[in-house]
Amino acid sequence: MQHLKSLNFYFLKYKWLFFTGTLFVALSNVFQVFAPHYIGDMIDLVEKNMDAFQSETGVPSGVFNALLIFAALFVAFTLLRGICMFIMRQTLIIMSRHIEFDQKNELFAKYEILTPAFFKRNNTGDLMSRVAEDVGRVRQYVGPAVMYFINLVFNSVLAIWMMVQISPSLALYVLLPLPVLSVSIYFVNSIINKKSELIQAQLSNLTSIAQESFSGIRVIQAYAQEEKEGIYFEENCEKYKNLSLSLSRVDAFFQPLMVLLIGMSVLITIFAGGVQVMNDTISPGDLAEFLFYINMLTWPVTSLGWVVSIVQRAAASQKRINEFLLITPDIVSSDKPVRSIKGKIRFEDVTFTYPDTGVTALKNISFTVEPGEKVAIVGKTGAGKSTICDLLFRLYDPDSGIIYIDDVPIKNYNLEDLRRGMSVVPQDVFLFSDTIRNNIAFSNSNATEEEVKTFAAFASIREEIEYFKDGFNTMVGERGVTLSGGQKQRVSIARAFLKNSPVILMDDSLSAVDSNTEKTILGNLITYLEAKTAIIITHRIFSLLEFDQILVLDDHRIAERGTHESLLEKRGIYYTIYESQRLEENDL
């Protein structure tokens, strides 16, 4: 139960629902336990007046009225029990749904503050499984399992108390199988716990495989690997099935054991109780009442195995949830007052190595960008260009050196303030499974329809969007699958520019567009970037744009820096890239 202790916070949060539910569990059992007493009284009354029932004169009115009163009381208590059970479920089950809601939101909020390094180390399917499957199993514990366990406690205590009132010796006989029950639960507990952890781990693995297969279905089909992937998925399904069947076999053994022990109690009661009736120690009504109480214990006791199984599965799931919630984010937001960004950027001797791969991306990088300046960062693939974007957005922190924004260390900024002051067009474009309009307006929820269309035109994509049947209301599909690479890039550009931040970062954002479209967008950029700080990362050279400075990265360092003309005069790396690009364009 140690892993489930963290749920006590939620029980305290919803204490009124919990206490109200517990109260009505107790009341429902009070009405249930006292109802059989009237059945016993009816049987004793009939037994005492058996001669009257067989006589020609008929049943005395007093006896008949007494029977009606006992029957009415029995029905009334049964109805009251039903009402209490309804309220019991309306409180405890609703409480479990509130806890499920809170846990899912807590997990999602945790996902949002974790860095890309975490998501590289963990499979998406496993992360989804924690939100869906694990939280669902925990809800089964805080709802049905808790409700049935509380019901079991009250039911058992009240029923046994009533049995002791009737006949202590007969009650002792009935309780003889309980030690066997306790030992069985002790051993079965550990088995269920181990099997539940294995099942949850394999379910996460299965979810990850399915998610990756669905995301990469085009690659699977392109290489005709459907059969291979199907076999791999089937093998993992088989493993999950075998683990689940193994747990089901334990449950299948446990449930009949409960029924057997209850059946033994019934047999002992009938045998020992019959002897006591013949000896006039108890009445026939008492024996009938006793049998009612044993029957009353049947479901709560047999449900104990089910409750134990739920608790163990919930413990395994909550353990996985706790492990995740205890992860400390690599990037912690500052709680300093809100700062507005003007646009000055300074890297001071910055070095960075990716934590997962150990690859050094930047070595002793230093440069300054004044507000309103336009800077190009040029270099070969893998030189570390995109890493500069990641560091500016604090997706990672540098190993050494300091990054300043407006002469303030970047770590002193609240993350939301920092990222609100910058727009980015990432190299790896991501579109949501939504309309084109909503994808563009994602950066500015207050944008008008006209603004969305204006910036779509700015990114040279408006005409193509309006050509679609549903125009800006066209659904782009998962990750923008219905659009071409160039169209996705231009939607991403429109989204970034609509944000209208003082700093804009463009990471190789025109690689998928044709030359004519590129010229149109670059022409619009000249006007748009006039009053903004811009860092344009590219492996190509844009002759249409005039940059205040150009940084050339090589071997993860700044190998050259200067203007377009000064770098060409040096006839170094920049000159080689420029000449190579010019020859390619001439060949075309």
CATH, residue 475 = 3.40.50.300
Q: What is the mean pLDDT of residues 456-474?
A: 86
| 201 and 292 assigned to the same domain | yes
Domain assignment of residue 120, yes or no:
yes
Distance set, CA 462 to CA 450, 467, 489 (Å): 11, 9, 13
Whether the Cβ atoms of residue 318 and residue 138 lie closer than 8 Å to each other:
yes
Domain assignment of residue 142, yes or no:
yes
Helix, strand, coil percentages for the chain (3-state, nearest 5): 70, 10, 20
Reported as a pLDDT band with limits 50, 70 and 90, residue 83 is very high
* 16-66 tens-digit pLDDT: 999 999 999 999 888 888 877 777 777 777 766 666 555 656 656 676 677
Reported as a pLDDT band with limits 50, 70 and 90, residue 583 is confident
| 363 and 245 assigned to the same domain | no
Name the β-bridge partners of 534.
374, 504
Report residue 147 CA to chain centroid gap: 24
Lowest-confidence pick of 120-124, 148-152, 242-246, 371-375 = 120-124
Q: What pLDDT, on a 0 to 100 scale, did the predictor assign at position 58?
A: 60
Domain assignment of residue 517, yes or no:
yes
CB atoms within 10 A of CB 117: 17
On the question of pLDDT at 392 being above 80, the answer is: yes
Domain assignment of residue 336, yes or no:
no
Nearest to 352 by CA among 395, 412, 303: 395
Q: What pLDDT, on a 0 to 100 scale, did the predictor assign at position 185?
A: 67
Please say whether the dihedral angle defined by the alpha carbons of residues 191, 192, 197 and 202, taken in this order, is positive or negative.
positive
Domain assignment of residue 335, yes or no:
no
Q: What is the mean pLDDT of residues 397-411?
A: 90
Q: What pLDDT, on a 0 to 100 scale, did the predictor assign at position 403?
A: 92
Q: Is 177 helix (H, G, I), strand (E, B) or coil?
A: coil
| 358 and 388 assigned to the same domain | yes
The pLDDT mean for the chain works out to 82
Does the pTM of the predicted model rise above 0.75?
no
| 72 and 139 assigned to the same domain | yes
> Which letter does DSSP use for residue 115 in this model?
-
| 458 and 539 assigned to the same domain | no
Report residue 357 CA to chain centroid gap: 27
* 332-354 tens-digit pLDDT: 777 777 677 888 899 999 999 88
| 68 and 19 assigned to the same domain | yes
On the question of pLDDT at 5 being above 70, the answer is: yes
Q: With b meaning 16 or more CB within 10 Å and e meaning fewer, what string describes 440-453?
A: bbbbbeebeeeebb
Rounded-to-integer distance, Cα 58 and Cα 356, Å: 93
Q: What pLDDT, on a 0 to 100 scale, did the predictor assign at position 573?
A: 87
- The more confidently predicted of residues 587 and 80 is 80
Nearest to 33 by CA among 296, 340, 267: 296
On the question of pLDDT at 262 being above 80, the answer is: no
| 316 and 231 assigned to the same domain | yes
Q: What pLDDT, on a 0 to 100 scale, did the predictor assign at position 586?
A: 64
* 162-201 tens-digit pLDDT: 888 888 888 887 777 766 766 676 677 667 767 877 887 7
Q: What is the mean pLDDT of residues 353-369?
A: 86
Q: Is 186 helix (H, G, I), strand (E, B) or coil?
A: helix
Rounded-to-integer distance, Cα 489 and Cα 457, Å: 13
Which residue, chain included where needed, has tokens 């990088």?
A: 365
Domain assignment of residue 553, yes or no:
yes
Distance set, CA 583 to CA 234, 515, 577, 586 (Å): 53, 15, 10, 5
Domain assignment of residue 330, yes or no:
no
| 307 and 352 assigned to the same domain | no
Could you list the residue range(s) of the whole structural domain that residue 577 is in? 341-421+502-588
Structural domain total, the chain: 3
| 77 and 48 assigned to the same domain | yes
